[in-house]
């Protein structure tokens, strides 16, 4: 495959690009892979269509970007624990990722990127929204930027994964996805409210509604007011892009500078996705 086969088409003004002319089941040459990597860093998320991946080929492509995580709570496939089977049966509401968040921000070293492959896709609904946290940071006033610099936020898994929130069935093996109980559920970690991307050097907001509990060093009222403003600001439509899934679609996004939201508007249909996440480093 030559470079001339690869095409990059921006998805929206804020972020994202579709990449055409590549087959992710095959080993990409160095030049094509570097083109994809540059597009990933420039646009924050890249999308592919018509990819017939299995867990091994999905992991192989993911590993081109770094070591893969094994999630401490959501249980992966038996033979390939790095791959999480994200399944929603027909007639049920979606429950995984349905809210603005950054994947695994409750890790001490949060996942750098996420790769999601569409296997069974509803005929309509189930789109994923993405929001650029670089755009969100850039749009703040100089005074607000100065105030946020140096602040840290506390992140925790429990608001999304605690049995009291998500239900006991996932922990007993009686649900479409299975979770394991671990002390990470209630563990709190601090990350900067504004982080610097380790590869691009660009700055972005790093708080999210799903996992961020409070701003360290502020009173409860101060923290709630500031986070409420930031959560609303981060979801500003001008900072977003929307991706519509097809069978075989692949999305690869950068958790270091994006948030995303899985829409729950396809209750009557089933959906099956396969997810891997790529290890990151501690935000700075």
Burial class (CB in 10 A: 0-12, 13-18, 19+), 168: exposed
Per-residue pLDDT, 2: 46
pLDDT in tens, 194-227: 999 999 999 999 999 999 999 999 999 999 999 9
101 is catalytic: yes
Per annotation, catalytic residue among 155, 195, 214, 260: 260
Mean pLDDT in residue range 2-28: 91
Per-residue pLDDT, 4: 53
Residue 250 clears pLDDT 60, i.e. is over it: yes
23 is catalytic: no
Per annotation, catalytic residue among 69, 103, 117, 195: 103
260 is catalytic: yes
Q: How far apart are the first and last CA of the chain?
A: 38
Q: What is the pTM of this model?
A: 0.96
Per-residue pLDDT, 5: 87
Mean pLDDT in residue range 254-279: 98
Mean pLDDT in residue range 13-32: 97
pLDDT in tens, 114-126: 999 999 999 999 9
CB 257 within 8 A of CB 136: no
* CATH 3.60.130.10 applies to domain 3-278: yes
Cα 238 from Cα 116, distance rounded (Å): 24
37 is catalytic: no
pLDDT in tens, 37-90: 999 999 999 999 999 999 999 999 999 999 999 999 999 999 999 999 999 999
Per-residue pLDDT, 103: 98
pLDDT in tens, 143-201: 999 999 999 999 999 999 999 888 899 999 999 999 999 999 999 999 999 999 999 99
Residue 19 clears pLDDT 70, i.e. is over it: yes
Residue 3 clears pLDDT 80, i.e. is over it: no
Residue 246 clears pLDDT 60, i.e. is over it: yes
Give, for 166, the enclosing helix (H) or strand (E): helix 163-166
Average pLDDT of every residue of the chain: 96
Per annotation, catalytic residue among 71, 155, 191, 275: 275
3-class DSSP state of 25: coil
Per annotation, catalytic residue among 101, 117, 155, 191: 101
SS3 for 47-81, per residue? EECCCCCCHHHHHHHHHCCCCECCCCCECCCCCCC
Per-residue pLDDT, 79: 97
Cα 67 from Cα 89, distance rounded (Å): 31
């Amino acid at each position: 495959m030559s470079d001339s086969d690869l095409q990059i088409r921006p998805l929206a003004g804020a972020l994202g690009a579709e990449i055409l002319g590549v087959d992710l089941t095959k080993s990409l040459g160095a030049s094509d892979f570097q083109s994809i990597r540059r597009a990933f860093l420039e646009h924050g998320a890249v999308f592919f269509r018509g990819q017939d991946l299995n867990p091994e080929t999905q992991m192989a492509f993911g590993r081109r970007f770094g070591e893969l995580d094994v999630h401490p709570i959501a249980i992966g496939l038996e033979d390939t624990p790095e791959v999480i089977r994200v399944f929603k049966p027909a007639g049920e509401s979606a429950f995984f990722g349905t809210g603005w968040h950054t994947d695994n921000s409750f890790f001490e070293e949060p996942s750098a990127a996420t790769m999601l492959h569409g296997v069974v896709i509803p005929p309509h609904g189930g789109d994923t929204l993405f929001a650029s946290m670089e755009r969100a940071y850039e749009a703040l006033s100089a005074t607000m930027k100065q105030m946020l610099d140096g602040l840290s936020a506390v992140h925790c898994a429990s608001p999304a994964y605690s049995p009291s929130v998500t239900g006991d069935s996932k922990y007993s093996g009686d649900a479409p996805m299975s979770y394991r109980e671990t002390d990470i559920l209630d563990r709190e970690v601090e990350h900067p409210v504004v982080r610097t991307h380790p590869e691009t050097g660009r700055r972005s907001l790093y708080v999210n509604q799903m996992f961020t509990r409070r701003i360290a060093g502020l009173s409860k009222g101060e923290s709630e007011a500031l986070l409420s403003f930031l959560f609303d600001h981060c979801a500003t439509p001008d900072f977003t892009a929307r991706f519509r899934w097809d069978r075989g679609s692949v999305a690869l996004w950068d958790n270091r500078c994006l948030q995303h939201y899985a829409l729950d508007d396809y209750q009557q249909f089933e959906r099956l996705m396969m997810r891997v996440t790529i290890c990151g480093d501690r935000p700075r």
